[in-house]
Structure 1
Amino acid sequence: MTKNATQLTNDNNRLREQLNAPNKKYYEDLLLYIRGKSFLKDSQAVEQELLTILTDILAAQQDGVTAEAYFGQRPQETADAILAEVPNHWLGVVKMYGWLLLFVVLIMLLPALAIATVPVDAGTLLLTAAYWLSAATVVVAAIARSTYRPPHRWTTLWRILGIMVLLIPGFLIATLLKTPWRIYLSGGVGIAVILLLVAGGAIALWREPDRQMWLPFVPLMIVMALSGIVTRVPAWQKGLLDTTPGQITLGAVIVAGLLTFYGLTWRMVRKQ
């Protein structure tokens, strides 16, 4: 049975642990370069090629041959030759970006529903999500291109500046842009939408084979969901939104959720 791209990626992650340190460094640089430059390619074909290379390196490793000796000292040329043979898959790219756009919008929608009196700006959500997807594509491509470039003393500074340049427009779009597509989801309708989003997120997380990378989002989404629900309950809305103690409490809970998210994300990045 033919495996899909996700199954091939999981096989790759499992087999890659069998590589020794030098071979792992060689292969993971090659993997990063190929994946970063293959966003227009057939993902299943790309992952199959990567898995084939990995099995060849493992076989050579058992014979005492290093990956560099087996594939040569110019892995970038090897990677470019492989990518040239893989066909473009425009329909798959459009489908993937469509699903990613929907996913990002849904992730952003729950925080947008955290305060009952604040309208959801559908236009801003779509434009912000589209921008972050585009920025992520640029970052991945830039990382791939820098894989085989010799390090320079200004490299880190340029990377930091580049990230800042990409971050600023995203935050400006999200905070300053207002469109006519503003919707007030108050009362029962808003609560129903929040519960649907939480249920959808829980199902998606349960079906995701690699849940670890999404765990930092869980406490943040729970806090945002609870905030959105309690500020839509008439008995609690006035006390939380119209009084100073209520506003401080609500703000503190949301900040705690954000700090937990950042802390868990930082811990996960350090472990990797």
Structure 2
Amino acid sequence: MMQVLALLPGGEEDQLQALPALAALGEQRSAQLQVVCPARVGSIWTLLPAVERCIPFAFGQRWSLADWTNLLGNVREPDFQVSLNLSTDWSIDLLLSLTHIPMRVASGGFSATEQVKQQQQGWRGQAWETWLQPLGVHCDADAYRLPLPQSGLAEARAALPQGDGPVLLLAPGAVLDWSTEDWRELVEAVGRAVPSVRLLWLAREGEAPAGVQRCRAATVMAEAATVASVDVVFTDEPRLAQLAVLTGTALVAAGMEDPRRLPRRDTIKPLPPLSRLRPKDVVQALAA
């Protein structure tokens, strides 16, 4: 069984965009994966069963010599056959050169045994296939769907607002670009357009608008199950937008017009940032 080490700097959006590719690697090469990533995003990898372990590391200039030495010890002990290094940090290049990993895939650096050319256009989730080519692995990232447990899906569906109408998940990001009045106006406009709509609010900060049920999902796995259980997601939160992509849920995403952030689908509508939108613009996008 192939042992693979993936070194992935970046935030939640970067990790989620890498998930389809690592899932393909795990399936097509029966690979067991370990991921080195910032501690704050390690929970993302609970979504992929092929990932056996997450090793926290502060990429960039935030690591200490003790951190680096500890990481070296972690990656030298297992019998890795492959490393996928998305970091351009010289310290990671040096670290990999001190291991016995026979295939070291990277976009550059003296430790790389296989160099790949990073794609600069299109959705970054599919651009990951370039990193898998030296391994003979194919990745159709747009077709990938998260393997969520049935128990989690059942729990999420049971927690939806009662009724028979479509469920719209409202999920503002950490930076609240809309006022309480803006959200209230959107809720009222959606209710007028679709009287049977069921509204659900998912946000780590802030109160839900009056009359909107709050979602209590406390983990990224629970968030994913909730996203998979609704009909449409409206959000400007990158984590929840990527969860909608990976579950195949219809998505209206504010602030994500960059084509590298989302795949092209009829069910995905990227919009300008919330600060440039009014509630009527969102209603029009939801109705389109």
Identify the TM-score tier after normalising by the shorter chain.
under 0.3
Q: Which protein is richer in helix relative to its size?
A: 1
Q: Which protein is richer in strand relative to its size?
A: 2
- With normalisation by structure 1, the TM-score equals 0.25
Who wins on radius of gyration, i.e. which is larger?
Answer: 1
- With normalisation by structure 2, the TM-score equals 0.24
Higher relative contact order (CA 8 A, sep 6+): 1
